[in-house]
Structure 1
């Protein structure tokens, strides 16, 4: 069954980690890849800004109850679960891996997959666009602050200070704003070349992962991380994902959201962004620590795609059944979803 296949990005990530493991960047190549990575990240967020239209922002912006819950799930419930995981220490993992889990819990939601899965499942796409995009932007400010407040790291790591927030704004937010302003001139080209822009997104992430893992390999990451550790990270990712999905599902039904909004809450409130998390880690943490810290995020990324893809398919099938039943009964589908 195709449902359980690794997505193409994950395969590329694995290949990049292997490349960095056998051929890590050393010497002058480190400076070159650092410059190239910074430029690629700026281009990545410039393109994100150029893709987001004002119409989409306005269309989904009025659904404040949904957006408020998604932000609460992303930046309050998720970090609380991360703190519980770190305090409880239920899995035989190192402190560095638990730091990685805590880091993924404070990140903003992913944009592309949240919207794509919401659309597939029959959710409120306009609200998903607005909510996921707002989460991504808010994460530029909130995530570094949460790193400083919640993560027990050494003085050389993230402290959430103004200098680090300034670096993140310069590398992530400023290109995003410039890209959005430039949309009036390049908007049509962006719409025609979304596939090319998607490839630019992936190339940027892969560059950051290669640089991070090159440094980690030089510092002996694979002497600290074995197969059993990777399997336990998968287990931890599954537990974390099922908990947040259950909480969001219960909240959506408790607060009386309709079916379309429930879907949006599930898929926007349960994701964590690899595209934001890897570049941000590159700024917030020492280069020697980035590789092992983003490892749980990389694995969680794959787990969330697989599980949520299956969940979206279930919603799609149940939606088709509801539509058929409504058509047979002569009732509008909107009424049947409430």
Structure 2
């Protein structure tokens, strides 16, 4: 049987790149087509050298360019990146263009959509400024309401907090060395948990989903390995690195202003990010709801734990040399 074509949006990014890496292990099953804005950048050239069919695709260019990029694909892994533009309006338009093109792909048998939940629904209308969640949830609604035939073969994956954030942004995600004690200041209580995962494991989940096909049509999967509080993560970090730690809970206002000052974010983006975290502080782990399939419960998937991640990376070096 000839390999089927799977088109991966954002093939040089963290999610799409992990999917590409996993599927390349099975050349007899999958022909990987990687979509990226710039086919000439080194990351794209490296994929091409590994056998990926790299094609140029700009989500802001409308659906017509994407239709040709998706032509002949049996499976599409689709995503948008809010933080590239920091605009929900831009992200929703990009998502709708992607969906329009997927719906126009006659060969498509499975659409896997990288999403986030509806923050307004999950918070009972309490938190209205989590735009980087809301935009993706609006695209999910668009699939369901506009293209019933596409929705019938769509799997939605909800992405959580990434372990890798502490590698790409150590100054924000790792504790600070204060006179030999590693102090982490965060807005959550010590018992408030977040869903966490190694984004490098994305490919494992996507492969399991597409191989089981129809079992996951119209389903939503909450993708995380562990529910962990920031205090728990800090304790594990200290144990593995053999350093003293201290968890310091700060107010939401202090946290938000820290994002503006240190990241830096706009006031609007900082409020967005802070309210996202307050959903978990107020309502618990909303990813653990019965309406979602839990990725960690899918047979055959082994997801990286936080302890394993700490053991596999030089986080002490990142703490002491964050830049």
Please give the range of the TM-score, normalised by the shorter of the 2 chains. Answer: under 0.3
TM-score by structure 2 length? 0.27
RCO comparison, higher one (Cα < 8 Å, 6+): 1
Which one has a larger percent strand, Structure 1 or Structure 2? 2
Which one has a larger percent helix, Structure 1 or Structure 2? 1
TM-score by structure 1 length? 0.26
